[in-house]
Structure formats: C-alpha cells, structure tokens
Amino acid sequence: MNTIKLKISQSMDSVGRVISIVRRAKVSVKRLELVSTDSLYEVEMYVEGAADEVQWLVAKLDKLPEVLEIKTAPIITATAIVSR
Amino acid sequence: MGNVGGIGARERPDRVVDKIVDTLRGLGVKHVLGITGGSIMALFDALYFTDDIEVVMFRHEQGAVHAAEGYARVAKRPAVVAATSGPGATNLVTGIADAYMDSVPVVAITGQVPTWVFGRDGFQETDILGVVTPITKWVYQVKKPEEATAAVKLAYEISTVGRPGPTLVDIPRDLQLAKASGEGRILVNVAKFKPPKPSESEIALATKIILEAERPVVLVGGGVLWSGATKEALELAERLSAPIVSTLPGKAAIPHNHPLYMGPAGMHGRAEADAALANADVIIAVGTRFSDRTWGRFKELQEMVKSGDVKLIHIDVDKSEIGKNVKPTLGIVADAREALKEILRLLPKAAMRNGKFLEWLYTIRRRYEEAMEKWASEFKFFAPWKVLKTVRRATPPNTITVTGVGSHQMWAEIWWDVYEPGTFITSAGLGTMGFGIPASLGAKLADRTRPVVCIDGDGSFQMTFNNLALVREYDLPFVEIIFNNASLQLVKQWQVYLYGNRQVATRFARNPDFIKIAEAYNIEGIRPSSYEELEKAVSWAVRNNEPLVIDVTIDEDKDIVLPWVKPGDWLTQAILPKGMEDVVLTYEHN
C-alpha cells in the first residue's frame, strides 16, 4: 500500500484531470480524500498495486501543471511489521 | 451579446478578446487557424482589428488542427487554432490527440456557451474540457474575465516548455465580451517542466557504459529533433562508429545520407535497423518513449537488460518516460542536447570501431535493396518505393515532406530519404488518416520558401481533401501524391496475413476521379504512366511553386509493406521480402 499526497489548484477541473490519470493506472484505490484549504485542494490517496504501477501513476500525476506538489510514501501495514 | 458597435464600426473595443489578441501578438503569433462560429466569433472579431495576425479559414476544424501540427513542426514554435463551442471544439479532438501523441505544441482556443447556460444543455454546449482532459498537456476553462490572458499565456508557454504538447483554453462567450480588467493569476507549476541539468555522476556512468560497449547503437527519437540535438547525436555515433537507428518521429532528426544511419526500426522499419537494435550490447536511446511500434514487444529487451546482456541508457526530458515501458540500466532525465554534449565532453575523440558489425548491417541493407529491385519488376503498375525514389530525385533536399497514414506512410518510413532535419512530418503515434493534406498546408504556411510534398494514400486523401480549397485561397501550393491502391491497404495487409484473408470493408469498389477533384479546386492533376512522367511533373510543380495532384496507380495485390514485424513479434522475426530467405537478423559475433 502506498500513499500519494497532492496539492492541486482549487478547481474541480484539476480534480477531474487527476482522476482521469488515476482511472488509467493499474492500481487499486483504497481511499481517496480531498480537503479544501484557503487556495488549494489537498488530495490524499491510498493505492495498492505493483511498485512499477504506483510509480507510473506518480510520474503521470506529476506531469500535470495543476499538480503543484506531490509526495509519495509506502505505508507500512501491520502485516508487514509482523512479517519483519 | 455585448454592445460592441453597430454595422461598420471601426473603433477597437476594449473587451477580453481584444486583450487576448494583444497577448497573441505579444507572443509573436502570426496566424490563427480555424473556423468561426457563434461562441468564438468575438475572438475572430477582435482579430479584425489587427494586421499582425492572419486568420486562416479551414473547411473543417480537423483540418485546422492538423495544419497547426504541420505549422508548429516547421516553425518550431506553438501554432494557434481556434474553434467554436460544441461541434467546432469536438472536431478538434482528433488533432489534439495526435499532437499529444507526437509531442507537438498546439494551442487551441475554443469558445464556450455563456456561463449562464452552463450545464443546461445550451445550443452547441459540450464539456470540451472534460473531453480533452486526457489528451492535453494542460487545459483550462476561463471562469473570470481577468483569467483569460493569463490562461492564453500559460497555454502557450506550457505547450512548449520541456516536452512539447497541446494545450487548450476554453472561454465562455460572455466572458470573451466582458470588459477587460487586469490580469488574474492561475496557479500552476510550470517550473517542473524545465529539464534539470544532467547529473555528473549519471553522465560519468553513461560514458563508462558506452566505452565498454562492443556493439553500441544510438536510438534517436523525436525528442532529438525538438531539442536540436542532431549534431550531438551524429557526433556521438561517429566517435563510436555506432549505427544510428531511429523511431518514426526520430527519422526527421537524422540526415539519411549519413553513412551510420540505418533507418527507422520497428513494425515497418529497415531490416538493417531492426538488426542493429536487436543485436546491440549497449543502446543509447535519446528522446524516445519506447513505443511498441518501434520494438514490436518489450519482453526480449527487458530480459536482456535485466540479465546485463544489453545495457540500456535512456535519456529523456520527460521523467515519466524513464522505465515506463522498459526499465533502463541507466535513466537520465535531461534535455537531449545537454545530456549528449556532456557525454561527448567525457568521451575520447575516436573511442572505438567495430567494423564487422557495421559491415554485417550494410550487407543486410544491400540484400534488401537487391530483393526489392527484383520485386519491383513484378509490379504491373507503379512500385511504391520506386515512386518515392523518383519523387526524391525531383525535389530539393530542403523539401518538407508530409505523409498521410497507411501503407504509403510505411513505404515512406522505409524509403523516403530525409536530408535536412525537421523536413519529414507524419502522424506517428496516433496514426491519423487524413493528416497529410492539412498538415501540408500548415507546413507551407509556416515556410513559404520551401517546397512541400505530401505522400498520401487514396484512403487518407478522401478524409480531408476538402481543405484543398485553401491552396488557391491562401496561395499554399504543394504537391499531393496519391498512392492509389483503391484500398485501406495496410489494414488489408493485416486481413490477408492475420485474419485468414477475410477482406472486410477495405476495398474501395468505386473511387472518385481524383483528377476531377483537383480540377474542382483549380489545381492541375495528372495520372502518370511512367516514372519519367512522374519525375517530370514533380520537377515542374516544385520549380514553378505550383500545386499539383498526382494520382499514382499502385498494384494493390502486390502492395505488401516489407519488412514487417507483426504486432507482438520481436525485431529479429521481421518478415523480409522474397530473395532474403537466407538472411537472419541475429548477429553471429562469437
């Protein structure tokens, strides 16, 4: 599981552009949150999928001019901790 | 509609559209291509007040946007296309997708219904932003009058910064007509498109890999052309005595009379180019997105890279391309020219030479050309590749060549010789039939001093020939050569070999008379009966800067484009023409 955090311009058009990429990614979206701040939308999504596919998604999202900032990090799940 | 003056008013109003025109002038825009209509006529009205920008009226918006693609590729700067809402905007979609696939800077400005009608299914209302969202580098709908000029400036800048691509600005009619009032700010991140300086450690590693190579190959993509890196790519190949192979868009970046150029590789590439790529031990891939049309399939390459048998250096300005289809040994995100310059700085002047590998590739080339020469004698009518050779002889090196899409395009990929970078324009990624005629018009508009030749098919011709009306209207002469096989020949080739020869909807039982169509547009047309007649006709048209339509009868039963790497096959499995049965594309270097 990975988390992808985006800061995008505050417009549903920008959200639509983000979604248009996410829907083509070969990942499973487990959670998607959107919070409005003063001038931005902050999007946080939890996705499950092969590392390459998550990387594809992040790289494609980062190509959007509307995406002002992008951060990604693997989520360490309880199972993963146990297995270590 | 706003009160902007009655009949005959000549005073320039102060509307948002007038500010947009000022912005376009400021950006150096000389032409706006398109078709007017209810929701964009305010912008066209504003263009009435300037002599600096010429409006070029097409007969279909698809023609305008393909012309914009041709224009941008020749002018090497963004081209502007404008259309009304609804059908005007949706008619642009194919061209926008085409520009997206081939990384062409096109700025589309579409009119939209007034804001008070939004979402009410107003007349000619279409959510064009929603439609083009996945096929644009950036798209923006103006919501406030003060955003309009900022949006146009950004659309222009974004279309060309880093990897080029199409952008679209959608402007509701009421906002176009609103009084101009300052310039708002639109929040985007453009800085990220500016290519980073190549890192020293990556350049050093790339150089080390290259110096250890026995059979290095330079793979040139369209990015080399946009970056202006032809000289550096040639220099790299020369220092290594390495064969240069290109993608279809990359074909335009390399002069074909260079002895190290093997041609384009892939589905309909040159046999020697397929062989070079498939047998390299180091591939320096520059400005390419690793299309399946270039590689057939990725499995072999990926396995060879993974095992270390092949070392792949991938240089691209777009970081999302690195590892998208094939994980390289080393990925370098940088401008092609900058990265190559840095590699050349570290590379010895005469680094290596593997004459044996090159000789093997030249042998394949010779065998292919001999086989094709023999095959040509079996053609009852014209052989497509001989037509291309003939036309090439009749045209100067700086001729801009545009193609349609189909078998003629694939023959041109294999056989048309490019002598000057940037003079070969084709719809590579999307493969849009009908691209040829409008893109030729756009190319001629961008540079009237050079001859333009369109290598077209009868199928492609029939999709957009209505735009021939512009040839006389705007004095945009070009030579239109129709490879007439009375078929959608390339699809037919697939039907014959991949679908048990079940030919469905690929033959034109009754084609119109193309010469009469030419005459209807006041363009001379001929149907040559020999290569000599063809050469004479092309020479005449080029010499006199006259338009000409040439209907060349191709033997449809024999028009099978070879070599052919069938979809999903590996490069060494290319089907070669008769007479090459003993030629294998695997190098025996041990």
Tens digit of each residue's pLDDT (9 = 90 or more) over B60-115:
999 999 999 999 999 999 999 999 999 999 999 999 999 999 999 999 999 999 99
Query: Which candidate from B130, B158, B192 shows the least CB-CB separation from A62?
Result: B192
CB pairs under 8 A between A and B: 51
The superfamily in CATH containing domain B200-360 is TPP-binding domain (3.40.50.1220)
Structural class in CATH, domain B16-193: alpha beta
B188 touching A (Cβ < 8 Å): yes
Segments of chain B assigned to CATH 3.40.50.1220: 200-360
Query: Which candidate from B188, B193, B319 shows the least CB-CB separation from A59?
Result: B319
Query: Which candidate from A39, A63, A68 shows the least CB-CB separation from B320?
Result: A63
| Residues B503 and B562: beta-carbon distance below 8 Å | no
B158 touching A (Cβ < 8 Å): yes
Give the pLDDT score at B588.
Answer: 80
CATH placement of domain B379-557: 3.40.50.970
What is the secondary structure of B119-139 as a DSSP string?
A: TS--TT---HHHHHGGG-SEE
3-state secondary structure chain A: CEEEEEEEECCHHHHHHHHHHHCCCCCEEEEEEEEECCCEEEEEEEEECCHHHHHHHHHHHCCCCCEEEEEEEECCCHHHHHHC
Residue stretches of chain A with pLDDT short of 70: 76-84
Residues in CB range of B7: below 8 A, 6 or more apart? none
* pTM for this entry: 0.96
The enclosing domain of A58 has a CATH number of 3.30.70.260
Closest-CA residue of A relative to B154 is A65
Contact flag B130-A16 (C-beta cutoff 8 Å): yes
Contact flag B129-A68 (C-beta cutoff 8 Å): no
Residue stretches of chain B with pLDDT short of 70: 1-9, 351-352, 589-590
Give the pLDDT score at B200.
Answer: 96
Neighbours of B183 (CB within 10 A): 16
Alpha carbon separation from B574 to B204, B264, B268 (Å, rounded): 36, 13, 9
Q: Distance (Å, rounded) from C-alpha B382 to C-alpha B380?
A: 7
B514 touching A (Cβ < 8 Å): no
B190 touching A (Cβ < 8 Å): yes
Closest-CA residue of A relative to B319 is A59
Reported as a single tens digit per residue, the pLDDT across B260-282 is: 999 999 999 999 999 999 999 99
Contact flag A13-B140 (C-beta cutoff 8 Å): yes
Angle at B399 between CA B396 and CA B404, to 5 degrees: 135
| Residues B202 and B172: beta-carbon distance below 8 Å | no
Rg (CA), chain B: 25
Give the pLDDT score at B88.
Answer: 98
How many domains are there within chain A? 1
> How long, in residues, is chain B?
590
Give the pLDDT score at B33.
Answer: 98
Q: What is the SS3 assignment for B429?
A: coil
* Residues of chain B contacting A59 with CB distance shorter than 8 Å: 319-320, 324
B156 touching A (Cβ < 8 Å): no
Angle at A60 between CA A55 and CA A62, to 5 degrees: 95
Q: Distance (Å, rounded) from C-alpha A65 to C-alpha A54?
A: 19
Give the pLDDT score at B51.
Answer: 96
Give the pLDDT score at B354.
Answer: 80
| CB burial string B102-113: b at 16+ within 10 A, e below | bbbbbbbbbbbb
Q: Which candidate in B133, B169, B324 is best for mutational testing of the A interface (most A CBs within 10 A)?
A: B133
